[in-house]
Amino acid sequence: MPIFPEMAELLATLSQKYIIAPISGQKYDQFLIQIINNLPESANLDNFHLFVAQGTQYYAHKAGEWKQVFNYALTDEQANAIMGALEKAAKELGHWDESVLLPGDEINENRESMIAYSAIGQKAGVEAKQAWDPDMTKRNEIAKLASQYAPEFEFEVAGTTTINGFVPGQNKEFGMNHLMEELNVTKEEILYFGDMTQPGGNDYPVVQMGIETITVRDWKETAAILKAIIAMEEA
């Protein structure tokens, strides 16, 4: 879902002074569709750094275009093993239904450096996604079973309907360590926003790193905090 105009304006304002580094399980195209393409012209794109697929891929804006800096891609064998485990676990638990997908959508998506299981597809509406597994019970069960079928990989709950499957250790801690290295910043210089900061959530590894983290429920809560930060800077 594209960011709202209010959030786009806030990010553009902050980009005049701060580095903004979204880190998400989403693929690169979605970073552009949901964030970058909705920013006003005033945004300083050189201060935006995109850490895709939990930070296993990194894109920087250089000389007027986005360039991939690194990509820790899965092998075909690894990708097939993760997708197979997720599909088998989801079917066994009754959470694999391709009939609910919108045209062109899929349940398992290969994001090159990780696999994302999205129970009702990526294109489903926000309300439908939020209603599917609000307490994460379904996804925790799928992730637990998938890890038994493919114990050489990690499976982690993310977003509202998603489970990420990836090479062990390549979670958001991996991404944040690379972020700090690439951008030459320390933990103390980072303020992290996340909605899955509880144990088992894909933001929890960042909390464990000791990085200052603000848990938010939605974009409106995030926007309110960003407004307060801007107000303090202008005071």
Dihedral of CA atoms 119, 202, 156, 59 in degrees, nearest 10, equals 80
Three-state secondary structure call for residue 118: strand
- Is 195 within any annotated ligand binding site? yes
Pairing of strands 108-110, 115-118: antiparallel
Whether 171 and 23 have beta carbons less than 8 Å apart is answered as no
Q: By C-alpha distance, which of 67, 62, 61, 73 is closest to 112? A: 73
User: Please, which residues have CB within 8 angstroms of residue 117's CB and are 6 or more apart in sequence?
Assistant: 86, 90, 107, 108, 142, 162, 163, 164, 165
Q: What is the DSSP string of 44-110?
A: -GGGBEEEEGGGTEEEEEETTEEEEEEE-PPPHHHHHHHHHHHHHHHHHTT---GGGPPTT--SEEE
- Is 217 within any annotated ligand binding site? no
Return the amino acid letter for 107. Answer: I
- 167, two tokens: 């090479």
Binding-site entries:
111, 195
Binding-site entries for alpha-D-mannose 1-phosphate:
111
